[in-house]
Amino acid sequence: MLGNNELALSKAFAYILGTERKALNEFLKFLNINIRDTEENYKETSIEIEYSREEGRTDIEIQLNNEYHIIIEAKVKKNRVLQQRTQYLNCFDNSVNQKVLCFITQERDSNKQVAENIEIINTSWLNVIELYDKKEFTENELIVEFLRFVSKNYKMNELKEILIQDLSDTVELDRYKTHNIYRRDPTFGTPLYFAPYFTRDANQPEGEGIAYLSKILGVLTLIPNQIENFELDLRRFKNDDNIVKSWINGVKLKSETIDNPLTYYFLDDPVQLKELLIKEAGNHKGVGKNWIAKKIPKNRCVSFQEFVTRMNK
């Protein structure tokens, strides 16, 4: 467990899963793998690290006979998962009932996909920390040491807070205002909140600027006409018939001819701000620092502190 690179972290996590039955069972439930928590199943479970294949070397692999096969790729700091998102799709045991490719990164990421009957789950070390930061686990000295190791060595308190993006397209405005959805090209990493910036061309009654703040309840990357296959996931985000129905209709909105995956943020009801927040004007050095100016770049995130500071100006 010495060091602070990806290998050290994946070895530490694999050790916890391999020595603490309750920890493994909690992680399986987190991945939506339904298996009986028995001593026999635990003894039959295989956990391997740095498994070499023709496609590459995986960080952690977990398998129980023909029940499930999990491949975990661990990333820390600025390392991003790119090629691995499809690199290991052919590595799964075809005889198992459930196949999961799990990416654990330093960004808080709840995105989920399905490819070739393989569930692709994106999560973060922050979520892993939260998974075991409970009384039933924090009374276990080994798990406490693991949580300290992760938090101290990898500075896991870093996360994206509020995503701000321009919104002007009439269909996307309708999707946001009517169905509480923000759609974009495939992306990874999940902020806590979304704040659309209504452009001047949007011609919205609220005016130009940020008028609303919406909590992000969950993220899915999918082909729009497959949305009904994800109803259980939507109910995990919020178990409300009306909201789930609205989300499904929102994904389908003007999407009949789309046959490529897109990322959808499923949002809670927006909170309207008392005053519009606008971009910082000017051409001086440092304009828009920690905020927004001119054209908002893709994936522009700001902190709660900066957002509240701008509200109080």
Whether the per-residue pLDDT at 283 is higher than 60: the answer is: yes
pLDDT value of residue 160: 72
Q: pLDDT tens across 9-62, in order?
A: 889 999 999 999 999 999 999 998 989 999 999 999 999 998 887 777 889 999
Q: Please choose, from the candidates 194, 198, 168, the residue with its C-alpha nearest in 3D space to the C-alpha of residue 265.
A: 194
The pLDDT of residue 307 is above 60: yes
**pLDDT reported for residue 92:** 87
C-alpha span between 256 and 303 (Å, rounded): 36
Beta-bridged to residue 71, according to DSSP, are: 61, 101
- Cα–Cα distance, 208 to 313 (Å, whole number): 17
- Taking 50 as the threshold, does the pLDDT of residue 78 lie above it? no
Among 221, 247, 313, 303, smallest CA distance to 276 is for 313
Tokens 């296959």 belong to which residue? 229
pTM: 0.63
Residues of the chain with CATH 2.30.130: 162-311
What CATH architecture is 162-311? Roll (2.30)
Q: How confident is the model at residue 155 (pLDDT cuts 50, 70, 90)?
A: low
pLDDT of residue 54: 77
Model pLDDT, residue 223 = 92
Give the residue, 280 or 180, on which the prediction is more confident: 180
How many whole angstroms from its chain centre is CA 117? 20
